[in-house]
Amino acid sequence: MARVLAGAFKLPWEQRKPLARAVFVPLLAVIGVSLIGEFDLIALPETLDWLWVVIYCVPAAWLAVYIHRFLLRDLSDAHTGAKSGNVKRVVLYGLLGLAFWALLIGATLFGTRDVPAENSPDIEESMAQMVQTVVILFVSAVISALIGGRLCLALPAIAVDADVRAAVHAARGNTLRLTVVFALLPIAMSLLIELLFRENAGFLDLTLLVVLGAIVMVVEVAALSLSYRELTQPAPLPTDPPA
């Protein structure tokens, strides 16, 4: 696990020039869509706020597929443009990403469905209900994160046209470690960026926040790629002992 996490930071840095050339367009798309949403440049009705997740998912899936193919295949195969095969990968990747997001949102809604009103006259009852809600929310989030960790290797498998069932099978026995890569690492990185830049953030700060978020996404996808490679690559053949 430590090797995967270290490699997720080291490998993109070592390959930064060819990687930047391979993912430049989808990376700009991710940053552009994020800036539009961050500054509310396109107003949507409150009931359609979820639509921004769908819109963001398209360039995010596009970027992730390029990163996976760059790290798990080769540079010439990563930059495939809008060919039909690549569009299919991006669509499937995005749909699975949305399914993971829906799982997390569903867990959150389940945990907060009975949140008491702030002006409840019974303080003790309100506190007890709040503690219960927090516990349910935490358990629901952990379960959804573990499910995501168990199934997350399907994402790089889709990106490189590999066997999805074999990838999911390879995750067996490694769910906790993959949960760290798939869920805890993005949460920790997002919280760190939010703590550093969100308070009293102005235009430049929010722009930097979005750019850093896109760069962090590269690291997170790299971690998933390296996890996939480590768990699915065939074991080395045994060698004869020295004479």
Of residues 47 and 136, which shows the higher confidence score? Answer: 136
Lowest-pLDDT choice from 64-68, 109-113, 138-142, 185-189: 109-113
CB 156 within 8 A of CB 70: no
Exposed e or buried b per residue across 55-85, where buried means at least 16 C-beta atoms within 10 angstroms of its C-beta: ebbbbbbbbbbbbbbbbbeeeeebbbeeeee
Distances, alpha carbon 123 to alpha carbons 64, 113, 116, 131, in Å: 47, 19, 10, 12
Query: CA-to-CA distance for 176 and 181, rounded, in angstroms?
Result: 9
| Confidence band, pLDDT 50/70/90 cuts, at residue 243 | very low
Q: Reply yes or no on whether the pLDDT at 127 is more than 50.
A: yes
The predicted structure's pLDDT at residue 219: 93
Distance of CA 27 to the CA centre of its chain: 14
User: Distance between CA atoms of 178 and 162, rounded to whole angstroms?
Assistant: 18
pLDDT at 237 over 50: no
Residues 6 or more apart in contact with residue 105 via CB below 8 angstroms: none
Sequence-distant (6+) residues with CB within 8 A of 44 are: 51, 52
- CA–CA distance, 199 with 186 (Å, rounded to integer): 20
Phi first, then psi, for residue 15 (nearest 5°) are: -105, 25
Q: What is the pLDDT of residue 48?
A: 67
Q: Which amino acid is at 95?
A: L
